[in-house]
Structure formats: C-alpha cells, structure tokens
Structure 1
Amino acid sequence: MVPAGRRWSQKVTESSRALDLEPGVFALVDPREIALSLQRSAEASVNRKAGPFRSAMSMLNFYINRAGRNLPAERRACLEAAKGELRRLYGRTELHDAD
C-alpha cells in the first residue's frame, strides 16, 4: 500500500486546472492521437500560464516523468513519439523554439 501523500502526481494528472485533459488521453495507442488530444486540450484551456505548445508538452513530460520506471518500454516509446508529433503539429523542428 502506498502512503496517502505518494499519489499526488495522479491527482495532478486527473484534476490539473492547467489543462482539461480528455479522458484516457495517456492510454491511447497512437502517438498522433495523443498529440492531437493534448493539442485540443491546450488550445481550449483558459487556465494555462504558457502557450498551448508548452502547456501540452509540459503535461506530456509530466506524465512520462511521474510514471517513471513503472512505465513499460513500449508505452514510453509511444509517449516519446507523441512528443515528436506535438512538435510537428506546432511546426517545431528545434527542441528549443520559443513560444
């Protein structure tokens, strides 16, 4: 059993006010569909503090980082591919493009 304070990242993912995520976005199997869902959520959000690209990428990175070593290699590869799809959707070819 995990102590109560150890599941904060799940709560953030489920109830973050930064982006209203579509249900099951991180369970999708197609990296492009994950990216498109994050794009829709980021562009529709009125609570985000950064631009839509940064907000979507931040949420994806947050999920990958919090899942950590519990994330199977195949799942991690899919989520990492979703980062590339997000970059393509926003016309970002460089890792350090500004918003």
Structure 2
Amino acid sequence: MPERKTVARAQADKRAGKSASTQAGEFVKEEVDHVREGKHGVRSAKQAVAIGLSKARRAGVALRSPKKGTTSEATRKKAAQDSAAGKRKPTTAKSASTESKTTRSRATTTALKRESSAGASPKALSKQAKTAASHRPAASRSAAAKKAAKTKGASARSAAAKKAAHTRAARAHH
C-alpha cells in the first residue's frame, strides 16, 4: 500500500494537469526512499521502478501497459492487471483467499528484505535512467527537453543554465 502523502501528491499532480508518468513518479520516488531507508531491498534500479509503477497503476494512475514487443508478455499482463485493480472500487468485505494473499504478501516482503539497497543508489539510478534514455530516439529526447524548458519558467531556466555552467567548469579541471 502506498503512503497517503504519496497518493495526495500524485492527485495534486493530476489536478495540475501533469502527465500520468509524472504522477507515477511520486510512487517510484516513494519506493526508492523505502529501499534507501532499509525497509526492503531490490536487485536493481529497474525493479524499484517496476514496483513503483505497479503501485501507481493500482492507485488509479492512468498509465498504459507497455507496447507489445518492448517487454515480456508476463510484464504486460501484470501491468494490465494492476490497471484493472486501480479502476475497481476498494472492497471492505474479506474474500475467501485472504489467507493466501497474506502469505504471498509476506513471502514477497521477506524475499525483498534479503536483497541489498545498492539498486537505489544514485549511481544505479543514474545508470538506469541513461540506459532507458538511450533506447529512445534522439527526436523523442529532444522533444522532452524542449517541453521541460518551456514549462520551467525564466528564473528556473536561468538557475539551470548557471548550474550547467558551474558543472562544465568543474569538469574542465578534471
């Protein structure tokens, strides 16, 4: 179950007219924080992202399932399942399979606790982001950057430019 404040932030993003992936980002951030706090571990940054996206879909974020051929059939099926769960109204009546649900949930948590927290390190997340970006065409990446610059505002753009200049200067010495 996602934390209440995470759901509230995602809903605020929705009201602000932000994209589904931005809304889902709140859940991914929560998952990364959980790993860093030591609540559980992950095998990779990709797994932390996958858990966050699953939580987002189940919370009702309108994320589409991955396209055919991009991921395995099992992943696409799970995404569709999560989206369907997010569309249903939460029921209060206990189902007959409650026992197996709790057993499975405990088993999942126990398995995740055996994993390390290295998957949520800044280095691992950076590597994952760069790898994911490299799979996208240059035009798509360029369009995303232009959109980001457009929605940033003058003062934030100026601050970003100053930060970039500072970074370039720092890297020039190495």
Normalised by the length of structure 1, the TM-score is 0.34
Bigger Rg over Cα? 2
**More helix, by proportion:** 2
Higher relative contact order (CA 8 A, sep 6+): 1
Normalised by the length of structure 2, the TM-score is 0.22
